[in-house]
Amino acid sequence: MRALRLPRPPANAPIPRYGNRHRLVQTFPIALGFTIACTLAALMGISRAGSASVEAPVQMVALGDSLTAGFGLPAEAAFPEQLARALGAKGKAVALTNAGVSGDTATDGLARLAWSVPEGTEAVIVELGANDALRGIDPQITRAALEAILRGLKQRRIAVLLAGMLAPPNLGQDYGRAFDAIFPGLAAQFETLFYPFFLDGVAANPALNQADGMHPTAAGVDIIVHKILPKVEELIEFARSNRQN
């Protein structure tokens, strides 16, 4: 198909004028260019604003003992590493540091608090106390150490998730009652997020624990992560809200 060609006017033909419409015809290219420039500038501004509004990852530390450190497991199977992957899969931007030390008691965790939780930390998961119970340490000592940890983190305006622990039944009812009460009591005192039992769904299950019966397998850690994840998401929101205050 041939393109339709309109007849060209003679070279000396006068340019038609239509009163005020002639000025509109002359200025239309300028106005159009100005409109396009403004639109592009606005779009660039929106793009820049959108980029600036993307929040930086929450700086989080998992402060704990061997249950956090990943005793007997490859590094990628430890609790902080599995938790970081689970959070990433849900679109949560978090930089999570594994500050677990095998064998640590609550008192040990307090002694290294300053360097285990560096400046710039916005959220901490406190998982300590299991070794205190295994060694039969006086619950008052454990409570005092955990209280000092929580107080120090609160003074630094760091959001906290306290993970609870339960005493082994072989230590007797009196010890168990005193020890088990430490964690909910401190969570209420400091108004922190609280996860009642870190090993919930895993403790005493041979299929989910290593040969020592105390440390979870990679599958066991996966269950811990799945169960604690909603509380960690709350922790992230608390940390982000602190940025606004």
pLDDT under 50: residue ranges of the chain? 1-11, 13-32, 34, 38, 41, 45-52
User: Which residue among 102, 200, 212, 241 is the active-site one?
Assistant: 212
Whether 66 is a known active-site residue: answer yes
Is 215 designated active site? yes
* pLDDT, position 55: 81
Q: How far apart are CA 224 and CA 51, in angstroms?
A: 35
* 212 noted as active-site residue: yes
Residue that the structure tokens 């909603």 belong to:
230
What's the pTM? 0.79
Q: Which residue is catalytic, options 65, 104, 180, 215?
A: 215
CB 97 within 8 A of CB 75: no
Residue 58, number of CB atoms within 10 A of its CB: 23
pLDDT of 165 reads: 98
pLDDT for res 53: 52
Q: Among 65, 66, 104, 180, which one carries the catalytic annotation?
A: 66
The residues with which 52 forms a beta bridge, in sequence order, are: none
